Homo-oligomer: A and B are copies of this chain.
């Protein structure tokens, strides 16, 4: 693609990208290696920080912004910052709620019993925690500012948003509704990620679709109002003046072309990168993605307390996919930790989140096609690098656009 026309051309020019592909930040599933592999192919690499310590965030940013790196040096020579998006959650961390934890443990009683786990010990196993963006994280950003700082679940306090922008970073956030997109524009966002229903992982949902108020309780009825990419994307494009990045269900060139048709300036791709060699997921997770069909994923709140899309597994079937019994985000993970740990030692993902969008098969098939076509040139035929993946996505999109051009 040459991208000499339209909003995607402006988007790429502003960030020094050669292709309008943003690698979705996926907490726990990818780190600096993934971000750098995408950067080197001309896309925007993303560093997810929700589960990282401050030290790990700092080292990750330094690694990705390193101007000794060939790609970064070339971009710096053009006057742009290295193409890095540093991503944070912005949920309001709630105080511990022992009653809610107890209710959740009771709901899981049959599961503990099945694995012969003492429920009393459940609180002792450490689960991955998720911290919201705060003062300390903001200081790290100010010290070494990336091109983009993106947020999930709304935006942090206005004072922190102001500081991030003052550091010269673009501020992005996800909208799952038109209402959220309009709110984000009014509160200082520089671009909107329109996150359709198809997307894997956590829904960015932060405003009640009925009242427009911030969500204080992730009640399960909210997901009935969530909006598919096909419908959300053009309506967000119409509702705001900002560039809109399409997310949810995009995993091959057809999806990229369709997103551009619907008015997107760029696409954010997540699940497809879980197939890359830089992804840090378990073999069980990778296997679930390879075998999945779109209807074999569901929105579920059982892993964290907030709705997120995962490949369906035992826990989701028995307790969910949506449960009234989960404690506030992110503390549902605490009581699950011993179940997850024990099942994983037996190579079972019965209690592990298997985040996936609805288009995993599209990525799987694109990779199969490209690997068989290029097998002479690529060494690791089982698992391509994210750099290859970006190149294949771009080539596939070009092909779709050329086919479309013959119709009109």
Contacts and interface: CB of A to CB of B under 8 A. Distances in A.
This protein's copies in its complex: 2
Nearest to A312: B210
Nearest to A256: B261
A407 B401 contact: yes
A235 B226 CA distance: 21
Contacts of A234: 252, 254-255, 359, 362
Contacts of A298: 224-225
> Among A4, A225, A400, which residue has the most Cβ atoms of chain B within 10 A?
A225
A402 interface: yes
A5 B400 CA distance: 13
A95 to B, nearest CB: 30
A359 B321 CA distance: 27
A35 to B, nearest CB: 25
Interface in A301-344: 312, 317, 320-322
A293 interface: yes
Contacts of A398: 408
Interface in A208-245: 209-210, 221, 223-232, 234-235, 238
Interface of A: 1-6, 8-9, 176-179, 196-198, 209-210, 221, 223-232, 234-235, 238, 248-250, 252, 254-255, 257-263, 293-300, 312, 317, 320-322, 357-359, 361-362, 365, 398, 400-408
27 contacts: A1-B408, A6-B407, A177-B293, A177-B295, A179-B293, A196-B230, A198-B231, A209-B295, A225-B312, A227-B294, A228-B228, A229-B229, A230-B230, A231-B248, A231-B294, A232-B294, A234-B254, A234-B255, A235-B361, A254-B262, A257-B261, A258-B258, A261-B261, A261-B400, A261-B404, A405-B405, A405-B408
